[in-house]
Amino acid sequence: MENDMAGTGLMNHTWHDNLSRWFFQEDKHTDLDWYLGLTIDGVLLLVAASAAAIAYYITKKIIIGITTKVVKKTGNTWDDELLNSRLFKWLSLLVPAIIILNTAPYAIVTHHDGVPMLANIIQSSAKVFIIVLVFLSLSSLLNIVERIYSRFEVSRELPIKGFIQVIKIIMLLAAVIFIISTLIGKSPVLIFSGLGAMTAILMLIFKDSILGLVAGIQLSANRMVARGDWIEMPKFGADGEVLEVALTTVKVKNWDKTITTIPTYALISDSFKNWRGMAKSGVRRIKRSVSIDMSTVGFLDKETLAQLSSITLIKEYLAEKTKEIATWNEENADASNKINARGLSNLGTFRAYIREYLNNHPKISKTETLLVRQLQPTEHGIPIEIYVFTTDNAWVNFEDIQSDIYDHFLSVLPEFGLRAFQSPSDHSFFQTSN
């Protein structure tokens, strides 16, 4: 190694000596030798800088220019990401930096005793610049990979942004260590070995990143949340579409157009609701009840039964039930006593109407659960709950379907002799007030 350095130094001085003879046609040692050497250094440094500038021009204008034209003419769209990045910019700067690094020892050899050679300073600066450019180039390349990956549907299920950010952090740490080793003139192995003692400090500094990395792996492996999912997390005020699953945060665009950021590890430690299953199923549940005033519930008289029999949806139901009840009363009860006899209630008939209405509704799924049930009576009346699924799960369309169904049910209640409960429910209160 020392022989190589000696040979390189000898070659450097030989270049200077030859150039000195060529300029001054003499080989004499005078008091102006140092200034003469400095002049030669400047000339050679100017030549090196010119070569670097020419290389930069050739790289950026010709090679990268041709590559850009080829990429634009291809039928692929993913390679356009190369043009939208700064990768070519960093690569074009890398070429002249390498030229300066390799030509500086040959260009500058003149120095005072005890003063570092200018060539060493230029070389160290060039090395630092090259390390930064390599880091920026690799970072741009990772960004390109991420953007291309996001074009595929699988990116919604398995986001890689968190992993890419981890790789960037590792590259950044490595770049900083190489820069420090270059500036202090020590091997980077020594610095890497010293990181063991700093492990606790690094874990404290990068606590959120480490937690986010572990959480990101679990989220991706279990497919708990992905870009485009609709999630609800009231603890953080999140209710909307997931825009980004990053290393330390998950970005959610709420339906009111605000943005909420959630720590990634919070999605593992806390509970949240993901509506992905609903979105993929193609259906959406309606689960809502109407409270009926209990004072309006009773048996149907013959006149009301005759009126309801003209309703197409429950015409067959009423005919079958009337026949069934009449047969049972003849065989098992005293028809003169209503308590002993069976009868049709207006509430039961209304439930039968709701069920038939939903069965014939074009926007209600026939393959999912269809349930009309009576819940526990409360001081607010008897809740009649509808549990069905619409075949259109788009938010606006779903709300229209749901509203139309309940508009209809509330409108037909008087036909069955029923009234929806509201406080106060007694109509005489309103009549007295008026």
Name which of 54-63, 286-295, 296-305 the model is least confident about: 54-63
Domain endpoint, select from 253, 276, 299:
276
The token pair at 270 is 């806390």
Q: CA-to-CA distance for 203 and 210, rounded, in angstroms?
A: 8
Residue 297: Cβ within 10 Å count = 19
- Is 90 exceeded by the pLDDT of residue 125? no
pLDDT for 373 equals 94
**Percent of the chain's residues with pLDDT above 90:** 27
Q: Are residues 141 and 170 in the same domain?
A: no
User: Which residues face 381 on adjacent strands?
Assistant: 378
Highest mean pLDDT among 98-102, 112-116, 267-271, 345-349: 345-349
Read off the pLDDT of each residue in 202-214 and give the average, rounded to a whole number: 71
Q: What pLDDT is attached to residue 6?
A: 42
Q: Does one domain contain both 299 and 395?
A: yes
My answer on whether omega of the bond before 362 falls inside 30° of 0, hence cis, is no
The verdict on 129 and 162 lying in the same domain is no
Integer-rounded Cα Rg, in Å, for the chain is 41
Q: Are residues 292 and 348 in the same domain?
A: yes
Rounded mean pLDDT, 60-80: 73
Q: Mind giving me the DSSP string for 94-124? A: HHHHHHHHHHHHHH-----TTS--HHHHHHH
Q: Is 96 exposed, middle or buried (0-12, 13-18, 19+ CB in 10 A)?
A: buried
Which band of pLDDT confidence, cut at 50, 70 and 90, is reported for residue 176?
Answer: confident
Q: Report the candidate in 308, 289, 281, 297 with the shortest Cα–Cα distance to residue 371.
A: 289
Number of residues in the chain: 434
Confidence of residue 33 (pLDDT cuts 50, 70, 90): low
Which one-letter DSSP state was computed for residue 284? E
The amino acid sitting at 259 is: I
Find how far residue 187's CA is from the centre of its chain: 40
What mean pLDDT do residues 80-89 have?
A: 77
pLDDT in tens, 319-365: 999 898 888 888 776 656 677 778 889 999 999 999 999 999 999 99
Cα 212 from Cα 65, distance rounded (Å): 41
What pLDDT does 343 receive?
A: 84
Number of domains forming the structure of the chain: 3
For residue 276, the one-letter residue type is R
pTM confidence score:
0.58
258 has a pLDDT exceeding 70: yes
- Distance between CA atoms of 367 and 307, rounded to whole angstroms? 33
DSSP string, 317-370: HHHHHHHHHHHHHHHHS-TT-TTTS---BHHHHHHHHHHHHHHT-TTB-SSS--
The count of other CB atoms within 10 Å of the CB of residue 335 is: 10
- 3 state DSSP class of 187: coil
**What's the mean pLDDT when you consider all of the chain?**
79
Cβ atoms 291, 421 nearer than 8 A? yes
| Residue 228 and residue 272 in one domain | yes
CATH of the domain at 339: 3.30.70.100
Which CATH number covers residue 218?
2.30.30.60
Q: Which of 39-48, 81-90, 248-257 has the highest mean pLDDT?
A: 248-257
Boundary (domain end) residue, out of 151, 169, 201: 151
Q: Do 298 and 267 sit in the same domain of this protein? A: no
Looking at the fold, whether 22 and 133 belong to one and the same domain comes out as yes
| Domain extent for 228 | 157-276
User: Over 90: is that where the pLDDT of 39 sits?
Assistant: no
Residue with tokens 């009337």: 322
Q: Is the domain of 288 the same as that of 351?
A: yes
Position of tokens 């200018």?
118
The DSSP string of 206-272 is: THHHHHHHHHHHHHHHHT---TT-EEEEGGGTEEEEEEEE-SSEEEEEETTS-EEEEETTHHHHS--
Lowest-pLDDT choice from 122-131, 199-208, 222-231: 199-208
Both 92 and 168 in a single domain? Answer: no
* pLDDT at res. 190: 72
In a shared domain, residues 20 and 144: yes
Predicted confidence at residue 375, as pLDDT, reads 93
For residue 433, the model assigns a pLDDT of 42
Indicate if the pLDDT at residue 369 is higher than 90: yes
The answer on pLDDT for 427 being more than 90 is: no
Going across the sheet that includes 382-390, the strands are: 284-292, 382-390, 371-374
pLDDT at 114: 41
Residue 111 has pLDDT above 70, yes or no: no
Q: Residue 252: beta bridge partners? A: 242, 260
Geometric angle at alpha carbon 97, from 94 and 101, rounded to 5°: 135
Q: Which of 42-51, 97-106, 114-123, 412-421 has the lowest mean pLDDT?
A: 114-123
Contacts of residue 62, Cβ cutoff 8 Å, sequence gap at least 6: none
Mean pLDDT of 188-192: 72
Same-domain status, 288 and 401: yes
- Regarding whether 216 and 89 lie in a shared domain, the answer is no
Domain boundary among 103, 129, 151: 151
Residue 1 has pLDDT above 50, yes or no: no
Q: How confident is residue 382, by pLDDT bands cut at 50, 70 and 90?
A: very high
Inform me whether the pLDDT recorded for 51 exceeds 90.
no
Q: What is the pLDDT of residue 291?
A: 93
pLDDT-wise least confident of 244-253, 275-284, 390-399, 421-430 = 421-430
pLDDT value of residue 178: 87
The larger pLDDT score, comparing residue 388 to residue 330, is at: 388
More confident residue, 333 or 46: 46
pLDDT given at position 370: 94
pLDDT score at 161: 76
Contact 290, 354 (CB under 8 A): no
Q: Kindly state the DSSP code that residue 59 receives in the 8-state scheme.
A: I
- Residue 432 — pLDDT band, cuts 50, 70, 90? very low
